[in-house]
Amino acid sequence: MEIIRIPRIMQDTCKKYLLKGRSIGLVPTMGALHEGHLSLVKRARTENDISAVSIFINPTQFGPSEDLDRYPRDVENDIKKLRAQEVDILFLPDNLLMYPKGFVTYVEVTAISGKLCGAFRPGHFRGVATVVAKLLNIASPTRAYFGQKDFQQTVVIRRMAKDLDLDVQIVVCPTIREQDGLAMSSRNLYLDSRQRQAAAAIYKCLSAASEALRSGTASSAETKKIMREMLAGEPLITNIEYASVYDTNTLDEADQMQGEVLLAVAVRMGEVRLIDNTVVNL
């Protein structure tokens, strides 16, 4: 595995592969890699000639009171995991090369970015869209891979790619879960053992709500009620930021219960913020 730290060198290396007619699959990450990331890496490997992973904890997507400083960092282990997956290129830039002095250009995907998580994390999706646009320009991947767990992120990135005519296929892969259903996330490392057990309530709530929708017995208002009641029943969940049924394209609360709908949840367990979702086909 080639480890490249300098954006210009990453760009030249990827261009050389593209000129030889090789396809490139890029998996952008912030490190602390778990099975969820590795499922994206496996898919990128099988669908492309060259697999590339980026690890960059992007400061512009963290708010001033968020967890940038304590975000889990484990590059040595990440490198081992990526070597075991036989990844071809690891792009590991540092902050100053990604955001040099004088950096003032941002990508804003308006409308969608202010909803759901965006309402609680102002500026978050501006940071995500900006860094993903940079990574796509640096690596020029044929395909870029993202997890469905960050559903809104995938909607924002797809929209950006379409609106800016980016020549890349955005591939969204299923959420990978722990045995009790908790969606894998680097932030799960913040949970103490009691919180970790209690966090299973999120998946239980999504499963009960999709069951109610599928059986045709619950309206969207009733489904929302089921979701909020189940989450409120777990004492270690200290705040429900959102929990409802949404349109998969606009991310507005859905009242038309047909086709694909999104069940999405964001809760806090003390300092820890957890999100999860599921798409139900009615």
Least distance between ligand PAF and beta carbon 60 (Å): 9
Looking at the DSSP bridge assignments, the partners of residue 260 are 281
Query: Would residue 124 show up in a list of annotated catalytic residues for this protein?
Result: no
Q: Judged by CB under 6 A, does residue 172 bind ligand PAF?
A: no
Q: By CB under 6 A, what part of segment 42-71 binds ligand PAF?
A: 58, 61
- Among the residue ranges 24-32, 115-123, 216-224, 246-254, the one whose residues contact ligand PAF (CB under 6 A): 24-32
Distance CA 93, CA 75 (A): 12
102: left (phi over 0), alpha (psi -120 to 50) or beta: left
- Which CB, 14 or 98, lies closer to ligand PAF? 98
Which residue lies nearer to ligand PAF by CB, 51 or 61? 61
Listed residue (8, 2, 3) closest to 138, CA to CA: 8
- Smallest gap from Cβ 282 to ligand PAF, in A, equals 28
Q: How far is the CB of 118 from ligand PAF (least distance, A)?
A: 13
d(CA 280, CA 282): 6
Site for ligand PAF in 89-108 (CB under 6 A): none
SS3 223: helix
Q: Which residue in 203, 202, 213 sits closest to 259, CA to CA?
A: 213
- Distance of alpha carbon 125 from alpha carbon 111, whole angstroms: 11
Nearer to ligand PAF, 156 or 261 (CB): 156
At CB < 8 A and 24+ separation, what contacts does 164-170 make? 164/107, 164/133, 166/133, 166/136, 167/140, 168/136, 168/140, 168/141, 168/142, 168/143, 168/144, 169/142, 169/143, 169/144, 170/143, 170/144, 170/146
Q: How many residues form the binding site for ligand PAF (CB under 6 A)? A: 10
Residue 92 or 212: the one with the smaller Cβ distance to ligand PAF is 92
**Cα angle 30-158-11, degrees, rounded to a multiple of 5:** 55
Can residue 152 be called a binding residue for ligand PAF (CB under 6 A)?
Answer: no
* Catalytically annotated residue among 37, 115, 121, 126: 37
- From residue 122 to residue 151, the character string flagging contacts with ligand PAF as x (rule: CB under 6 A) and all else as - is ------x--xx-----------------x-
Question: Which of 7, 28, 36, 118 forms a contact with ligand PAF (CB under 6 A)?
Answer: 28
Q: Which residues bind ligand PAF (CB under 6 A)?
A: 28-30, 58, 61, 128, 131-132, 150, 153
**Which residues belong to the active site?**
37
